[in-house]
Every structure is written in structure tokens, then in C-alpha cells.
Amino acid sequence: MFDLEESPGNIMDMTEGNSLHKSKHDTGSVGNTDDGQKYDSGGVSYDFSCIYSKDLLPAEDGEEATKHFLQELVNILMAHVSKSIKRSSKVLDFHHPHQLKEGLEGFNLELSDQPENLEQILVDCRDTLKYGVKTGHPRFFNQLSTGLDIIGLAGEWLTSTANTNMFTYEISPVFVLMEEVVLRKMHTIIGWKEEDGDGIFCPGGSMSNLYSVLLARFHLFPAVKTHGMSAIPHLALFTSAHSHYSIKKAAAVLGIGSENVVLIRCDERGKMLPSELNARINEAKIKGLVPFYVNATAGTTVYGAFDPLNEIADISEHHGLWMHVDHSRAHSVTWNPHKMMCVPLQCSAILVKKKGLLQECNQLCAEYLFQPDKHYDVSYDTGDKSIQCGRHVDIFKLWLMWKAKKKSQLAHPLQGSEGFEAQVNHCLENSEYLYYKLKRRTDFQLVFKGKVAPKIKAKMMEEGFAMISYQPLEDKVNFFRCVFSNPATQREDIDFLLDEIVRLGSEL
């Protein structure tokens, strides 16, 4: 266990000098921040060493202890947020699995049979953050989501405190309506008509993609819901060779079979070739398969390539296929605000052009949950639209961020994050800047055969000052892939990254 007696200071006090705590037992500090920085908490603090979780609410006299405990936690979290944003701090403090499992400086992952006091619980919280990865750090370029939006964070804290579920209006009246408001806004942005459109937030982009394949299959062959795949023809679906693996996964899960996903060849920039798509659809038909779905990718995983959406839409319409993509001519769209919009994880929506289809495809009308004889408009019991039963409230943080940001053309991309548009533009400008710098550097011109990128990344993780991803693709050996979604990242961080790669590479 961490020896608290040896701690040189107090956990950061948010008020920087003003005491947050009425002294119950003036026993001094709870612990120090992980870099040993001292914060003045006014010399008094609440004694967590002799109280336990049972002393918190709903215990009869638990209110004061609860307040102090949550306040101390917030101090730890706030210190983490402040530190995460600082370029002088490490992105990660890397340890191998066996090292973390053995226990580091008293941080013990194992569960014993005795309850820990709240002092130890707070130390555990601090250590969990210490040995984790600071995904909000300006030099975290790794996949997939980076940055920490404070309004989004506030939204998540409130959501956890509300501790409810999205399945019915009766237990989530506000959140259910917020989902409706935000989905309608998203439909407008895609370009669907006011009267069109349906959708649901679900746990991640892969699940959204699974929903799209599920809906397309049901739309064309509604018998599949009750009779199963044996009652319908052999299906084929189409996606680019550079698309996300979740389409294949969906086909495997849904009983279509991953080999019935036809991967369409791309050009050298990673865009699907429409002529290839058309040829492969015809080929599948000749083989006796029934093409029913095409996924066009607007931003591939590795190159960030955009498939030619209109040409693909023409082909889909010609063959009567369901088109899934981020595009107004599509039948369905996966939209992940937890990516470039920097909404805290997780936040993903499946948007469906045809109203009522989600309900028709997924409803089973369980009468113990979705009673039709309630005293309010039960069309707001949206739970039966989903393939889940309970559903996490992912909407509030997005709604709150949208309220706080709004559309704004005014803010300069580098001056702030007002408006999602400015925020996304800032990310795009970062990637242009990276491209500009790379073109001008001679030390980045060659991709050596071998394992350069993994070795540089390994050294980078061990040193912990930046983090980036890599992978091979087709004929290319491992190369770096840089992700920008963090508003905190500035040009100096990109310069730092390039210099680090060169420095670490030259030491190989």
C-alpha cells in the first residue's frame, strides 16, 4: 500500500488557498499529487482514514461525509485535467501488464475481502489516473478520440448523477426529448427533409454500422425477423477495401457471413472505384447472390479517404441497394460525435431515412416495459427501437455541448473552440500543417522496409512525451497515422512530434 505518512503534500485544492473542508479530524494530508507538487489546502482536511463507503449517503448522517468525499475526488480529477493539458507533463507513464499487475508503489489492482477506507479509495482514484493514458494531452495523436471537452465532461458527470436509462419516457423524460431534438438537428445537417428521418444513439460506431446492415436486410426482406436467414435468399453486401472492419463484423454477427462482404478495390488515395463496384455487383448476381447493401465510407480509417458518394448513390439506386454512409442520398448514416466533434466517449448515432423502420425492425413489444396503456404519449418510449433493452444516456453531453458551442463562423480556428465547425476546422488545419512540414523535411522522405514505426512507437510510449499510432496497408510497410481531434493540439505539438520521431528513429 502507498504509505500516506510519507506524502509530502496535499491533493490539489481547487480553491487554491481557500479551505474547502471543515476540519473533522485535523490529521493533515490525504496524499500528494503524482508529481509531488504541493498545494495549500489551508492546513485542515477531512479525515477519510476512519470512514468507509457505508458512512456515505444513504446513511442517515451521511450528507457531510458525502460532500467532502466527492469534493476531494473533484480535486483529484481537476488536478488531472489541469496536468493533462500541460505540455510539460508526460502523455503516459508506461508499464508492461505484468508490472502493473505486480503492484506499483502500493497501487494494487487485486480485490481483497476487507473494505478499504475512503482515504485508500481516494488514493486508488489518484493512482488510476496516474498510470492511465492522458488522452486529452495535446500530444496524444493516437487513435481514436482525443481531447477532453469540459462542457462534455460536465454533461457526463450530470448523466452519471441522474443514473437513469433511455428505455422509456417515464424514467427519462428529459433525455428522451433531448434525443429527439438532437436527432432532428442531425437530419437537417445531413440534408434530409423535416418529415423524414429517424435514428437512435447506440454504443459506438461499429454498433451503428451493425444497425444499418440489420435495417437494410429487414427493409428488403422483412420475413427475416421471424423466419430467419433460411427464409430469404443468399445476400451480398459491398464496401471498400479500405473501410472499417465493423461491416465485416456485422455480417458475421447477423448470420450473413463475412465472406459475403465484397471488398471493392480503391484508387491510390483510398477511394472506392465506382466501376469496380458496379462490376462486382453484377458478378455477385451472376453467382446467384442477392446484393442488398453498399457501405460508402466518408473518411476511411487509415487514409481518411472519401468514397465518391454520388457515383456510388447512382449505382446503388440502379441496383435497388440500401446505401449506408454520411450523405443525404444514403438510406442510413453513422455519425460519431465522439470523434472529431470531441464529445466524451461514447457518443454515436445511427440515422435512418425511413421513419418507423427502426421500430418495425426491432420491436418486440415486451409488455412489462412498454405497456400501451400508459397515461402519456407512449411513442416516446423509444427503447423498443433498439437491439438493446437498457440504453446508456449518451445524449446529454452532446446536447449540452451543442448549447454551449453552436454554429459560429466567427471564431478563428486557432483562437478557441467556439462552434463545432471552428473546432473541426482547427483539426483539419493541423493536418494540413503536418503535411506542409513533412513535405519540407528531408528526414521523412523514406519509409524503410522493416519495423521502424513499431520501434519508434515503443520508445515513444516508454518515454511518454507523445503518442501516435501506426499500421501497414496493402503494399506499404508500417507507417505512422496521426489523429487530430483535440482542440488543445497546436502547431508546436506537431513540430514536437516530428522532432521526436526523428530523434527516436536516429537512436535505433
Closest approach, Cβ 448 to a copy of itself, in A, equals 15
Question: Is 95 in contact with 464 (CB distance < 8 Å)?
Answer: no
Closest approach, Cβ 437 to a copy of itself, in A, equals 22
Residues 326-345, interacting with a copy of itself (CB under 8 A) = 338, 344-345
Residues 345-364, interacting with a copy of itself (CB under 8 A) = 345-346, 362, 364
Task: Tell me the window of 197-205, 263-271, 322-330, 430-438 that interacts with a copy of itself (CB under 8 A).
Answer: 197-205
Question: Is 248 in contact with 213 (CB distance < 8 Å)?
Answer: no
Packing angle, helices 395-405 and 150-162, rounded to 10: 140
Q: Is 496 in the site for a copy of itself (CB under 8 A)?
A: no
Question: Is 464 in contact with 438 (CB distance < 8 Å)?
Answer: no
Q: Is 162 in the site for a copy of itself (CB under 8 A)?
A: yes
Q: What whole-number distance in Å separates Cα of residue 470 and Cα of residue 448?
A: 14
Residue 175 vs 315, nearer CB to a copy of itself: 175
Q: Is 258 in the site for a copy of itself (CB under 8 A)?
A: yes
Closest approach, Cβ 238 to a copy of itself, in A, equals 15
Q: Is 88 in the site for a copy of itself (CB under 8 A)?
A: no
Residues 375-404, interacting with a copy of itself (CB under 8 A) = 375-377, 380, 387-393, 396, 399-404
Question: Is 382 in contact with 176 (CB distance < 8 Å)?
Answer: yes
Q: Is 81 in the site for a copy of itself (CB under 8 A)?
A: yes
**What is the side-by-side strand order in the sheet with 332-335?**
198-202, 348-352, 332-335, 322-324, 290-295, 235-240, 261-264
Residues 53-81, buried b or exposed e (16+ Cβ, 10 A)? eebbeeeeebeebebbbeebbebbbebbe
Query: What does residue 481 show for φ and ψ, rounded to 5 degrees?
Result: -125, 120
Q: Is 4 in the site for a copy of itself (CB under 8 A)?
A: no
Figure out which of the listed residues 24, 28, 154, 498 binds a copy of itself, where binding follows CB under 8 A: 154
Residues 231-250, interacting with a copy of itself (CB under 8 A) = 231, 234-235, 244-246, 248-249
Task: Tell me the window of 2-10, 65-73, 190-198, 267-275 that interacts with a copy of itself (CB under 8 A).
Answer: 65-73
Longest dimension (CA), the chain: 82
Q: What whole-number distance in Å separates Cα of residue 103 and Cα of residue 111?
A: 12
Task: Tell me the window of 107-115, 275-283, 321-329, 433-441 that interacts with a copy of itself (CB under 8 A).
Answer: 107-115
Question: What does the block give as the cell for 498?
Answer: 516530428
Residue 288 vs 445, nearer CB to a copy of itself: 288
